[in-house]
Structure 1
């Protein structure tokens, strides 16, 4: 069985729709990058990093789906994993005001929690879609933490969770509906997750601006 419905044979450019839809990540990265202040990259280096990692997810996705080379599949997952690590770290620092030690402890607890959740979930079910379920749980945890400090960010995270849930359904249906939808549904996964990543980065950028405005008002 091929990994995606659209790929009927090995070789380059056997998944044109999946490949082209991967460009949506570049659009999301560019829209995020445009909101950042170039002159303040030192203060906003973490936000710039998030935008750059969205582009990295897009590059890995395009290369993997264009070529079908096995090791690029792992690069695709590694790029998304790098974004998750960076975003959760930035979230803890920017919203919870955690220092380095607190972030390390939080990551230890997060890793334990995700590992425990992964041990009881069918991670390889539905073409490997189950492997992303712990990330949905992480988003839900972020909503609870964000609600204490920034309700608008919490709403952004709620929207991101809804997009992610829909994306998981679409990804799971790719091979299931292959006989009916010849090109599959994985290209929708790209569009939805690109939107998801944009919502996450955009929400963080606006949260940082809110914090800076509040700090300026307090000084004034």
Structure 2
């Protein structure tokens, strides 16, 4: 098996202890987000609960993949992150732009076209596949522009998430490049940083929802 990461030098279980352990950061992020949600308001906040659960799913997939090195779990790892991205962008469109099902469908069509066009011009598999994550950075930048129209605090959260994610991309790209110098590599930092990105995104969305609810209550009163 060709190693995907610096820390893995051979196939088999537990060949990436640091990468595996750092995957637990997603569980911490998920738990911190989950604690902020109101259990009694499950129906009103089901989408926010889903985002917290998907953060945990990203962690589970990352831990399983790095602990085992089994090839198909690599795709599960990517699928879990992809599910979070799809869910978050959908929640973002509904909660911040107040789009209905038809509007969300059109927005997703435009998003898919834009991301596909961007991806065609990028070397997606360079630096251990890091190039494949660059379109997500572009999506965050679009989100900043949309959020700035309705909630500047959320826009700042997205800006912070973008900055952390940019650093995470650099760290991920350096993993194999610096392998001779850093024996354990840098991919474990990718886990810590992206867990932070997911938390900032969900935490910002939770605050946005609370702001909207407070504004609605004030308008009604």
- TM-score in same-fold range (> 0.5): yes
Corresponding position: 1:181 with 2:202: no
Corresponding position: 1:36 with 2:37: yes
In the TM superposition, structure 1's runs of 4+ consecutive aligned residues that sit over 4 Å from their partners are none
Normalised to the residue count of structure 2, the TM-score between the two structures is 0.99
- Tell me the secondary structure at the aligned position of residue 132 of structure 1: helix
- Tell me the secondary structure at the aligned position of residue 60 of structure 1: helix
Structure-2 separation of matches of 1:213 and 1:133:
36
Instruction: Render the CA deviation track for 1:94-145: whole Å, top value 9, x for unaligned.
Output: 0000000000000000000000000001111111100000000000000000
Structure-1 separation of matches of 2:28 and 2:35:
11
- Tell me the secondary structure at the aligned position of residue 182 of structure 1: coil
- Tell me the secondary structure at the aligned position of residue 153 of structure 1: helix
Structure-1 separation of matches of 2:85 and 2:56:
14
Structure-2 separation of matches of 1:191 and 1:112:
31
Corresponding position: 1:208 with 2:202: no
Structure-2 separation of matches of 1:212 and 1:82:
27
Q: Hey, what does 1:15 align to over in structure 2?
A: 16
CA-based RMSD: 0.4
Structure-2 separation of matches of 1:120 and 1:173:
22
Q: Which runs of 5+ in 2 are unaligned?
A: none
Q: How many residues align?
A: 220
Q: Which runs of 5+ in 1 are unaligned?
A: none
Which residues in structure 2 correspond to 1:185-204 (within 5 Å)?
185-204=186-205
Q: Hey, what does 1:168 align to over in structure 2?
A: 169
Shift of 1:2: 1.1
Shift of 1:36: 0.1
Structure-1 separation of matches of 2:184 and 2:122:
29
Normalised to the residue count of structure 1, the TM-score between the two structures is 1.00
